[in-house]
Structure 1
Amino acid sequence: MSESYLEIERHRAAIARIDISRPVRLAIESALINQETTFFDYGCGYGGDVQRVANLGYTSTGWDPYYYPDASIIAADVVNLGYVLNVIEDPQERRESLIKAWELTRKVLIVAAQILINAPSKTQLAYSDGIVTRRNTFQKYYEQEELKSYIDEVLNVDAVPVALGVYFVFRDETEKENYKAIRFFSRSSTPRIRIPSKRFEDYQELLAPLMAFFTKRGRLPVKGELSNEQELLSEFGNFRRAFSVVLQATDEAEWDAIAYRRSLDIQVYLALTHFEQRPSWHKLAPEMRHDIKAFFGSYEEACAVADQKLFSLGQPRVVQTACEKSKIGKHTRGALYVHVSALAEIDALLRIYEGCASRTIGRVDGATLIKYCTDKPQICYLFYPDFDTDPHPALKASIIIDFLTLKITHRDYQTRANPPILHRKETFVTPNYPYYEEFAKLTQQEQQLGLLKQKSDIGTREGWEKCLAAHGVEIRRHQVYQVEDGRR
């Protein structure tokens, strides 16, 4: 069939969503869309994102050539070009749409497109540089790196990968670097009051912002960074004296640990900027510049420390050794498995190694576990959506990234009758995980009953069910119960 006889029905590619689309949700979660920004959806389809963003109390408008052709096309702080590029069959029009969206953008452009993570079906009809679907719509499937290269080339920018097929393009370089750095920040809790003192109690309310600042940045503030600075300094003279009162009532080692983690966060961020054009000192956010001065003395020293860690990953067995030494995660013969919530707690080398994968694809939205392969250069993201609630959750999907080829492979396990399942869930998380104790108690019960002895037999759902039946037990809500004789 000649391409000239095909009439593509683009509007049929619009998706009727029941929730905010993933690209827009990621922008909201990153606080890029907030009460103070305006949002415009360029190619909004049915307008679902426009309405739901407005329902959150944000200023939200949109336009679509088929569904809302009479709506105004206006500039906004945040513009969404969500899954539009991949449905335009004309390469020139596709390019013009991207340029137009960027022209409308004051702060951040969201670009999302379909990503090819497995080989396309050979039965699909090739058309232009994509394929024609059964609905007579056009789809251009990009490779992840191909999409970034396309955005960068057309707009002369450095698009930031956020997730598979999702990029943020920032107008301001400092805001871009700040966003990238924040992604590697670990979260800390303010140390508890352990030794109440009269002096601390008298000033606790005044000292609270200082404690919150140190918890977030891992250092004392400099002039202009604290909301109640004038009041605090008039009382104590300087921040160090004020913080000494905090140390009288708390464990200093906990504050030191916060500072250490923060310094590692910066090393991870700077190590991964090596792959791009590392930002100049003046393009870093003021807070980051103060962090670097506090922890490393100079930008040059901070970069040198970060690069040393990055380059060491190229040496034989470094990743394997780091995995073997890790006190966090579940160890197997060929891998280390870590829950995503524990990523910020593991060795900085392993954080950088994972960052080498996520720097190209962004964070893998919805992933539960990260599998560090120790026998090959791969990282796998495993999806167990029922991890918290199911005592032995089944694997729903995986995404594998090969460091040698940068190939991304997706595997779907949802239709498998006998999928792999998890045991000993507490080994994947840290002791401060909300359900750690519940997981650990279940494992203890299972060990006492001998349920976990035959490791090779219980790794799948069917094998596990046979094991439970053989022992005459069942598991409900992370508790093991004997099955009554009449139910066997």
Structure 2
Amino acid sequence: MVEQTWGSDRRLTAISRANLSVPARQAMVDKQVLPGRTVLDYGCGRGGDVRGLKLLDCQAAGWDPFYQPDTRLEPADVVLLTYVLNVIEDPIERRKTLKEAWTLASRVLVASARLTWEKSKVRGEEFGDGLLTSRQTFQHLFGTAELRSYVEEVTGVRTISAAPGIVYAFKDESARLGYVAQRIIPDARWLASEDTASAIAAVVDHVEHRGRLPRMEEVPQPMAELLRHLGPNEIRRLVRDSADPAKVDQGSKRATLNTLLFLAVELFNGRGPFSGLPLSIQLDVRAFFSSYREACQRSDRLLLKLRDDPYVRGAMNASAVGKLTPTALYVHRRALDRMPTVLRLYEHCASIAAGRPQSWTLAKLRHQGRAVSWLDYPDFDSDPHPRIRSSYQVDLKTLEASYTSYADSKNRPLLHRKHEFIAPDDPDTARYERLTAAEVRAGLYEHPHLIGTEKGWEAELNRCGRTLRGHRLVRARDA
């Protein structure tokens, strides 16, 4: 094992944490850090993540040249390299540190770094390829594309951006593909089973949603035990007699489109062999396509459609969900999977390249040029006209990202006609529609150019003598 030498006094960059860091939390959300897997926090600082992970029953250890120098460095399933690359002023040493972390990871390396849009928070003078602060600490701020390509170059594997500034590098290609599938295709749903009859009902439900019989390797172990005494032909007959053909047909179409979506994203990210695909995807290909080659050809055509402006605009016009403006389609995260497949691909490609932020409400897909923004309206459900908190945009041509915070703005943009962003059958649609209709009757939308910001909207409410009580519009004198 190569001994890591740390040059400057980087201990000053280590902060005390009351909660898990953003990268550690993201790795848990993405089921990369799990109880039973070993975790090494390489460059752990004061050890906040290690303590937090241990409380969650993870087998975590931390090494740090100042705070934990005596920890024995041993390979771990997951290695966290959390905001370490930023603070190394020597590019050669920075690269060696990343390489050592990669050597220690037996399953996945979670590499994170501060990004260029944080430059306003870092005060210092230019030094090398970064900034030297007044505390004599160093910061190299990465671009999103720079971080991903840097990790790929050093590790020699294709990586995935899990979130802004967080990159996963998998040791095994099947693990990477499994993670991509997890992000794109919903987990198989299984009804609870306590006896053979309920287990068969669960299989029938699965067939109606997936469009094909599951293999026993896909079935939860307790359910497989309940079905073990039945032969494959008998299970097939029972399902055929019980399943709704119309639902099975819909499930087949949904699974076919999801498979195409997965393969198209894989082409965007670099497609691997059929044998490396997750088992469920292999079975979908065999069930819904004549061959893997045919499935890939169809997904290739789908990916090419992203370059076709009229086709993308047509898909936006045809979308059953979302608000279409002269420049973009805006869709609530609850309705994202209801978009046409080419638009889902559009959003997924951006997320794989640069990562979705952890908090977001609406996805904005531009139809001129290719860029996706994730907009955060934290009070969307409770506020009749929610204010924006932040915007994270990815340009698909350059793969560069930008971030805008509205936290300190005195006149934030806000939303109207909330029902247009969600699906028609969303439980909140009727309530939002009633509010919009009342606001139209009151004349609040007569000057649309005035109502897009907090101050303009308040002025129009005053002009019309109205105020809001939750999602009800009332006369101001009645308030």
TM-score surpassing 0.5? Answer: yes
Tell me the residue number matched to 1:444: 437
Alpha-carbon distance change, 137 to 179 in structure 1, aligned in 2, over 3 angstroms: same
Shift in Å, 1:136:
2.8
Pair 1:243-2:239 in alignment: yes
Find the aligned partners of 2:211 and 2:28 in 1 and give their Cα distance. 26
Tell me the residue number matched to 1:425: 418
Find the aligned partners of 1:111 and 1:422 in 2 and give their Cα distance. 36
Which whole-Å deviations, capped at 9, do the CAs of 1:18-75 have from their partners, x for residues lacking one? Answer: 3221211121112121122111211112212111111112222212222223333332
Alpha-carbon distance change, 189 to 181 in structure 1, aligned in 2, over 3 angstroms: closer
Query: SS in structure 1 opposite 2:116?
Result: coil
How do 1:474-485 and structure 2 match up within 5 A? Answer: 474-484=467-477
Shift in Å, 1:231:
4.3
* Contact 2:354–2:399 (Cα < 8 Å) also in 1: no
How do 1:90-105 and structure 2 match up within 5 A? Answer: 90-105=90-105
Tell me the residue number matched to 1:107: 107
Tell me the residue number matched to 2:227: 232
* TM-score normalised to structure 1 length: 0.88
How do 1:64-463 and structure 2 match up within 5 A? Answer: 64-117=64-117, 124-186=124-186, 204-211=197-204, 213-214=206-207, 217-226=210-219, 227=221, 228-229=223-224, 231-232=226-227, 234-235=229-230, 237-247=233-243, 252-463=245-456
* Contact 2:190–2:206 (Cα < 8 Å) also in 1: no
Alpha-carbon distance change, 308 to 386 in structure 1, aligned in 2, over 3 angstroms: same
Which whole-Å deviations, capped at 9, do the CAs of 1:86-136 have from their partners, x for residues lacking one? Answer: 111122221222122122212111110112248779974111221113443
Which whole-Å deviations, capped at 9, do the CAs of 1:206-258 have from their partners, x for residues lacking one? Answer: 224414644774421124433334643745743332223442xxx54344333
* Contact 1:177–1:284 (Cα < 8 Å) also in 2: yes
| Worse-superposed segment, 295-304 or 406-415 | 406-415
AA paired with 1:475?
A: L
Which whole-Å deviations, capped at 9, do the CAs of 1:322-377 have from their partners, x for residues lacking one? Answer: 11221210122222111122222111111122233223102232121111222333
Query: SS in structure 2 opposite 1:142?
Result: coil
* Contact 1:232–1:242 (Cα < 8 Å) also in 2: no
The alignment yields a C-alpha RMSD, in angstroms, of: 2.8
Alpha-carbon distance change, 448 to 253 in structure 1, aligned in 2, over 3 angstroms: farther
AA paired with 2:234?
A: N
Alpha-carbon distance change, 214 to 34 in structure 1, aligned in 2, over 3 angstroms: farther
Query: SS in structure 2 opposite 1:54?
Result: helix
| Worse-superposed segment, 425-434 or 363-372 | 425-434
Find the aligned partners of 1:105 and 1:457 in 2 and give their Cα distance. 55
Find the aligned partners of 1:207 and 1:135 in 2 and give their Cα distance. 66
Find the aligned partners of 1:73 and 1:119 in 2 and give their Cα distance. 33
**Number of positions where the alignment pairs a residue of Structure 1 with one of Structure 2:** 469
Find the aligned partners of 1:385 and 1:87 in 2 and give their Cα distance. 32
Alpha-carbon distance change, 405 to 118 in structure 1, aligned in 2, over 3 angstroms: farther
| Worse-superposed segment, 436-445 or 419-428 | 436-445
Query: SS in structure 2 opposite 1:238?
Result: helix
Alpha-carbon distance change, 224 to 273 in structure 1, aligned in 2, over 3 angstroms: closer
Tell me the residue number matched to 1:196: none
Find the aligned partners of 2:438 and 2:309 in 1 and give their Cα distance. 40
Alpha-carbon distance change, 119 to 13 in structure 1, aligned in 2, over 3 angstroms: closer
Query: SS in structure 2 opposite 1:411?
Result: strand
Find the aligned partners of 2:104 and 2:190 in 1 and give their Cα distance. 42
* TM-score normalised to structure 2 length: 0.89
* Contact 1:15–1:45 (Cα < 8 Å) also in 2: yes
Q: Give the % identical residues.
A: 37
5+ residue gaps, structure 1: 1-6, 192-200
Find the aligned partners of 2:100 and 2:411 in 1 and give their Cα distance. 49
